Amino acid sequence: MEEYSVDDPTQLLEAASDFANYAGFQNDDSAKEFLNRFPLPVILNALQTKTDVPGLESTLVAVLERVFKTKYGASLIPQFMPFVQVGLTAESQEVKSLACTTVSCLLENLNEGSVSATRLILDHDIYPLLLDCLIHGNEKVATLAMDAIEKIAGSPKGIDIVFPANTKEATHLGALAAQCSSVGRVRVLALIVKLVSVSADVASVVQKSNLLGLFEAEINNTTDTLSTLSILELLYELSEIEHGREFLSASTLLQLLSSIISNKSMESILRTRAMMISGRILSKENYILADELSVKTVLSAIDGILSSSDTQEIDECESALEALGQIGSSIQGAQFLLSSSPPAARHVIYAAFDRHGRGKQLAALHALGNISGETRPVNSMILTSDAEESLRRLIYETASKSSKLTPSGLFLSVLKQDSEIRLAGYRMLSGLVARPWCLMEICSKQEIINIVTDPVTETTKLGMEARYNCCKAIHTAFNMSSKLASDQSLSGIAAKLHEAVKMGPYLARKHLEAQPMVVTEDRF
């Protein structure tokens, strides 16, 4: 084997480049073969002393990442913990990234019965260095440091490292957040969310450490819009973690969101995000059932936006309608929207048939589709009798105050608009038609039947599928109605629906014939 020269790293760079760029999987054998030629001390020395060689640092970092991800490479890490320690404090962000990845590899691959990974991390003071990478590293370094800390928390005895008993200790996340910049605090909060996701035990420690209160304090105190937006998204991620929900106070979270929505001094983007996050949270049955008072508070805040006549809040109105639609996608949420006093769903129904604001109408039509059950299983479409009566009454009242006079007239006016509005209209009708009164309205307008059964009405895949699903929903509802199915005067509609469903969604035609083209002779 050719001897490697410390002074001339060309040979190492060439071999390392081949190893790093190898398209296949690097296993223990390939890692051993490479390290037999270039032992780890040689590679680490070159990484520390040959930083002026173009491409060497990034290539060696890529090589070591691949080596340490093998079981053989990971087994060597305990012998080189001082390198990991130095790497975490390096000026190079690439070397920091490698060091963070190496800690993760150590925790993932260290064999049982060997030296404890958490003991190595404690002995070499690795955890405080990872926190420093989290706070001060670039985005990639911060993400890798967060992953390593998450693995420490999930390892045996790792909880004691991540959650020191002394709240004043420098590594306590609460104390750390208090000393950080706004970016650093957001990163600490993102870490807390990751830690909650590790396990129910870790989530319990987070809750007992009062770390969840940092979210509320940060939103209340910050004047940084981007920071607040990030924290709102982290709160939503927190609410999505199944075993973390029991530790996250639904009432506190919803009260916090409603206070943002109601605060007109807040920037519009914050209010719209708060509404959308509220909608996503309340689309889940467990939150609706958990705290009725908090749900009412959120709905009251959204109602305030929709009741405002301030034309500068058009974007907020669209977001508010979308939020109501998300809430209405759950059966409990839909009933809440229709049964509240006054019913919050009135805004959705009024806007769905109001052509003076296209964006609002589009958002409202989709929201009404959710409320009426288009996104729910068939057996969950119909709501309580009170909610159903509220839905029917609101639609008939809206029709009576319009030039169309009847719900069928409103439905037809929607289907005569542009393709995007029609698609939302199909969704709306697919849900509403489960109600006998709506089925009667649809069957009373032959033009509606003609549109939903015509395979050439739509030209896009989404439009074709939405039209077909609507047609199929009407056909199903028609066949389930013994009264309409036995009505001979409606036999033509029944046949047309049956034929349209049989043809499928994608531009099926009975006859497809070549059409002759006649052109005038070009005389000049």
User: pLDDT tens across 309-356, in order?
Assistant: 654 567 788 889 999 999 989 888 899 899 888 899 999 999 999 877
Q: What was the pLDDT predicted at 510?
A: 46
In this prediction, residue 228 carries a pLDDT of: 84
Question: For residue range 380-437, what is the model confidence (pLDDT) as tens digits?
Answer: 899 999 999 999 999 999 999 888 889 999 999 999 998 899 999 999 999 999 999 9
The number of domains in the chain is 2
Q: Within a domain: residue 471?
A: yes
The domain of 86 spans 1-162
- Establish if 172 belongs to a structural domain: no
- Collect all residues with Cβ–Cβ distance below 8 Å to 45 and sequence separation of at least 6: 6
Average pLDDT, the chain: 83
Q: Evaluate whether residue 263 is within a structural domain.
A: no
In a domain, 319, yes or no: no
Q: Which residue, of 162, 190, 205, is where some domain finishes? A: 162
Query: CA 143, CA 444: separation in Å to the nearest integer?
Result: 60
Query: Are the C-beta atoms of 198 and 153 separated by less than 8 Å?
Result: yes
Count CB neighbours of 513 within 10 A: 6
Q: For residue 191, is it within any domain? A: no
**Calpha distance 522→58 (Å, rounded):** 68
The reported pLDDT for the residue numbered 1 is 43
* CATH number of the domain bearing residue 120: 1.25.10.10
d(CA 349, CA 361) in angstroms, rounded, equals: 9
Residue 516 has pLDDT above 70, yes or no: no
What is the CB neighbour count within 10 angstroms for residue 197?
18
What pLDDT, on the 0 to 100 scale, is given for residue 512?
46
For the chain, the 3-state helix, strand and coil shares in percent, each to the nearest 5, are 70, 0, 30
- The 3-state secondary structure of 266-306 reads CCHHHHHHHHHHHHHHHCCHHHHHHCHHHHHHHHHHHHHHH
Q: Extract the tokens encoding 269.
A: 């983007």
Say yes or no to pLDDT of 496 above 80: yes
Is residue 278 within 8 A of residue 288, CB to CB? The reply is no
- Least-confidence region, from 9-13, 190-194, 375-379, 398-402: 9-13
Q: What mean pLDDT comes out for the span 132-136?
A: 94
DSSP state of 21: T
Instruction: Name the residue type at position 152.
Output: I
User: Over pLDDT 90: what percentage of the chain?
Assistant: 26
- Cα–Cα distance measured from residue 81 to residue 106, given in angstroms and rounded to the nearest whole number: 10
The pLDDT, as a whole number, for residue 515 is 52
Rg (CA), the chain: 31
- Of the listed ranges 261-275, 277-291, 418-432, 503-517, the one predicted with least confidence: 503-517
> Angle formed by the axes of helices 436-443 and 446-453, to 10°?
90
Ranking 6-10, 100-104, 187-191, 407-411 by mean pLDDT, the lowest is 6-10
> How far is CA 61 from its chain centroid?
33
Domain ends where: 162, 181, 201? 162
Q: Which residue has the tokens 């969310």?
A: 193
The pLDDT value recorded for residue 325 is 92
Residue of higher predicted confidence among 394 and 220: 394
pLDDT band at 26 (very low <50, low <70, confident <90, very high): confident
* Selection from 213, 203, 128 nearest residue 172 by Cα: 128
Tell me whether residue 469 is in a domain: yes
Q: Is residue 449 part of a domain?
A: yes
Query: Is 325 within the bounds of a domain?
Result: no
